[in-house]
Amino acid sequence: MKSIRKTLTRRLSIIISLLVIAVLLAADIGVDSWVEQEFNQAMKAKVGVLQSLVNEDVEGVEFEFAGEYLPEFEGTSSPEYFQLWYKDSTFEKSDTLALYTINELPFSSIGLDEYSFQDITLPDGRTGRVIYTRYIPQIDSEDRAGFYRVMGKGNDTRPSMVIAYATSTELLNFTLWFIDGAFLFALIIVPLVVRFTVRNTVAYALAPLDALNAKIKGLRFTTRQKHEAFQNNVEELEPITQSLNHFFEDNYSLYLREKRLTSDIAHELKTPVSELINMTEVAIKFPGEIRLEKDFKPRVLQIGTRMKNIISGLMLIQKYSFKTLELTDEIDIHKLVSQLIQIKEARNVKVEISSNFQLSVKSNRVGVESIISNLIDNAIEHGKTDTEILVNLGVNSSSNVYLRVTNKVGTEVNEDDLKHMFEPLWQKDASRTSEDNFGLGLSIVNALCDAVCAEVSVTKTTEEDISFLLTFKNETIGP
């Protein structure tokens, strides 16, 4: 099973570690190059100082060196070395060369005004680097005119001088090694630190999700929440918590509905069963009683029929729940309503048509007939005595045929009653004194509406009027 926590930790650790290592590697290479370049520049600067100490005039070449200003060329503490060659022979060299057996720096042939760096072993045994350059000695400005007058009389080609400067690279090598060591240490420690940081960060970021999961485990549909079950201040979880709150609220409503339905079924069946038991006990206790014999059989038949009707209604609701019937019949709604009213002999039912369209739909005849019949029966049964029932037919703005049944109710109906009217076995009369009504008619209507792609709703239009609206979702057939 794929883990979001492990995947995030692993991928973020790898990506961040690679980026940091790449940056460190580039920094290591750049710093190494910069340090070595600075070291070479320092050697060139020192050679430039030594070059400036060589002067040429008409009397020859002179090296004006003062050891007190450049002690590194005289003492034994971290000595440095230089040597000058003039006309292919040693012209001058540092006093530090005289301290060791090897008292010469190696000569290297080089072009004029060029620089050459070479790694060597210094006379004192340390690793070092030497720089070579060839140049023409400078002439003092006050001696320049006289010098050129003399040179103009003879050969004007001036001999060049080669200078070599050598110093230890041990500090340079240590610095470079230290930088490389720091890089290797970072190479080891950075992935560990990144993984630790990423893992803790991911764990912290996913903590609200863990808390949500724990909350879900602790909730039950059977427990009514005093407020929204899930609350958080995490933006990404807000849609999830809203969906979960809606889900739990809906399921709690379904649980209450199922609980009420179970209680109603038990109540509806318990009463006739208890009556049958009582009647049977009386019949057994008084055998041959003519009066009991006369009332017993019809009453048993009546009770059995009631139980059969309740069970048949519940089975019908179950049968058509989440099922779609074949919609292949062309039905004239006006004609069908007129036939049903004639069959029921309902003289107080009035039909009005609010459309010039032919009120025909393509649906399932049995299903539509059962729906309209139940709506009219419900209006007749629960309508106020001797009041008119209005059936209005028409086509709405979406070109859908609709049927509206409006009647005056004999008992007061509130908004909460409207919410429960399509629930199985719900009755306004909590004592269930009616022998003929079971609270299944409108539930059957609701189930059949889903089966024939129709919608049914109920509204309270006035204090006494209640209206059921049946809308067919398919368009009318023909003008």
Are 113 and 134 in contact by the 8 Å Cβ rule? The answer is yes
pLDDT score at 434: 53
What is the spatial distance between Cα 44 and Cα 86, in angstroms, rounded to a whole number?
A: 20
Place of tokens 């949500």: 212
Q: In Å, what is the CA distance from 337 to each residue of 242, 348, 361, 370, 451?
A: 44, 14, 13, 11, 20
Please tell me the predicted confidence (pLDDT) of residue 33: 92
* pLDDT of 365: 86
Task: Count H helices and E strands in the chain, helices first.
Answer: 9, 14
Helix (H, G, I), strand (E, B) or coil at 165: strand
CA nearest neighbour of 133 among 104, 164, 106, 107: 164
Beta bridge partners of 475: 400
Cα separation values, 100 from 58, 105, 247, Å: 36, 12, 93
Whole-angstrom Cα distance, residue 167 to residue 80?
A: 5
Mean pLDDT by 10 residues, the chain (479 residues): 80 88 90 92 92 81 82 86 90 89 89 92 92 87 65 63 93 91 88 87 82 76 61 74 77 72 67 78 73 71 73 67 77 88 82 79 86 86 82 86 87 76 66 56 82 87 84 62
**CA separation for the pair 456, 383 (Å, rounded):** 19
Residue with tokens 């048949």: 312
pTM (whole model) above 0.75: no
pLDDT, residue 438, reads 56
d(CA 250, CA 261): 16
Cα(402)–Cα(392) distance, rounded to whole angstroms?
8
Calpha distance 368→471 (Å, rounded):
11
**Pairing relationship of beta strands 389-395 and 349-353 according to DSSP bridges:** parallel
Dist. CA 296–CA 376, nearest whole Å: 34
Q: What is the pLDDT of residue 232?
A: 67
pLDDT of residue 430: 54
Per-residue confidence (pLDDT) for residue 129, from 0 to 100: 94
Per the CB < 8 A criterion, the answer to whether 409 and 381 are in contact is: no
Distance CA 469, CA 459 (A): 8
> What token pair was written down for 332?
């004239």
